[in-house]
Amino acid sequence: MTTDDLIVPHRPEPLSSILLPVNDLQSFARVIPLVGALVRAMRGDARSVDLLHVVTGNFLAELMRRIDLASGETPSPAEMRALHQQHLDYTVLPLLDRSRDLLLRETGIGSPETLVRDGDPAKVINEISSRHNYSALIMNRRTAVRDSAKLIGSVVAGVMHRHTESTIYLVGDAAEPAAESLFARCLIAVDASPASMNGANEAASILSRVNEQVEQVYLVHVLDQSCYYDEDGESCMDLSLTGQQALEQAGNLLLERGVDGDKIKTVIHFGKPGTVLAEEVQSCDATLIFLGRRDRSRMAQVFLGSVCTDIIQNCRERTLVLTS
């Protein structure tokens, strides 16, 4: 069995087509440096970069404040259509024009496809990315304010809780230092899941093109402490061997793609995966983190927790790459 056999089939090539949701200019400007770094790294293999804006009902707020809902008054269809068109003409289209300018200056891509849809942002983003088979979504958190940006209820959470084959690039709150490459120190969380191997493949596809910018690649496996309490499941010894095999497979994949072997370091820890990985991110000062993302319902997230959620919440300043 080769490492290619361990990657989920029928996935588009990493970063071959990119969808950029645009909510407002300030948040989009924070995404653009990452887009530029990835497009330059892929050296022409990023064949399309498209913009998507989702129109919500917020533009109706002023109208709804002026009418008496309690008495049964409702806006007329003509008023609704006029306000919608006004919102498109004076807010949405100028926003997309400015976003195209930012994209052009950063990447040289001057004619992206621009999509405008109405509805729930998370649902629309998921539908568009799945329908058009985008290889990557590049998004940022709702806000850069550390204390107020909880994952629950955000657009990012809504996208994550739906099944999508697109890799999610989640921009960190802290801008990368100009003197340091985004690819300097990459941490890849490794387990035996296909999602984890897809993360290693995504990393290999990028890092093999920017070997000169890479200082270290950390392959990190965490042996979950809960195995000691699972009487009916796999033994810790079996899980440890499985983890070591996964590390070997991920390392071989990186080497096969052309990543410098002297820069690859394997690490095994014991503990709660989300907590230990967050600590390792801080310890090695990772500039980019690759995580496998298992599809899981919101209710399961609440009761069982999520490694991705732990990392997103505790490593806000870092840029994350979430593969399914």
Would you list the domain boundaries of the chain?
Answer: 17-140, 174-323
pLDDT value of position 303: 38
Q: How far apart are CA 11 and CA 126, in angstroms?
A: 16
pLDDT value of position 176: 55
Q: How far apart are CA 183 and CA 287, in angstroms?
A: 6
- Burial of 111 per CB tally in 10 Å (0-12, 13-18, 19+): exposed
pLDDT value of position 43: 87
pLDDT value of position 320: 94
What residues contact residue 68 under an 8 Å CB cut-off, 6+ apart? Answer: none
Q: How far apart are CA 232 and CA 244, in angstroms?
A: 22
pLDDT value of position 228: 60
Residues of the chain falling short of pLDDT 70:
1-10, 62-73, 142-153, 174-178, 225-237, 239, 295-305
Do the domains 174-323 and 17-140 match in fold?
yes
From 3.30.420.40, 3.40.50.300, 3.20.20.100, 3.40.50.620, which CATH number describes the 174-323 domain?
3.40.50.620
pLDDT value of position 241: 84
Q: Domain 17-140 belongs to what topology?
A: Rossmann fold (3.40.50)
Query: How many separate helices (H) and strands (E) can be counted in the chain?
Result: 11, 10
Q: How far apart are CA 242 and CA 223, in angstroms?
A: 10
Among residues 309, 292, 291, the alpha carbon closest in space to that of 195 is found at: 292
DSSP notation for 201-268? HHHHHHHTT-GGG-SEEEEEEEEEGGGGG-TTS--HHHHHHHHHHHHHHHHHHHHHHT--GGGEEEEE
pLDDT value of position 12: 86
Stated length of the chain: 324
DSSP notation for 255-309? HHHT--GGGEEEEEEEE-HHHHHHHHHHHHT-SEEEEE-----HHHHHHH--HHH
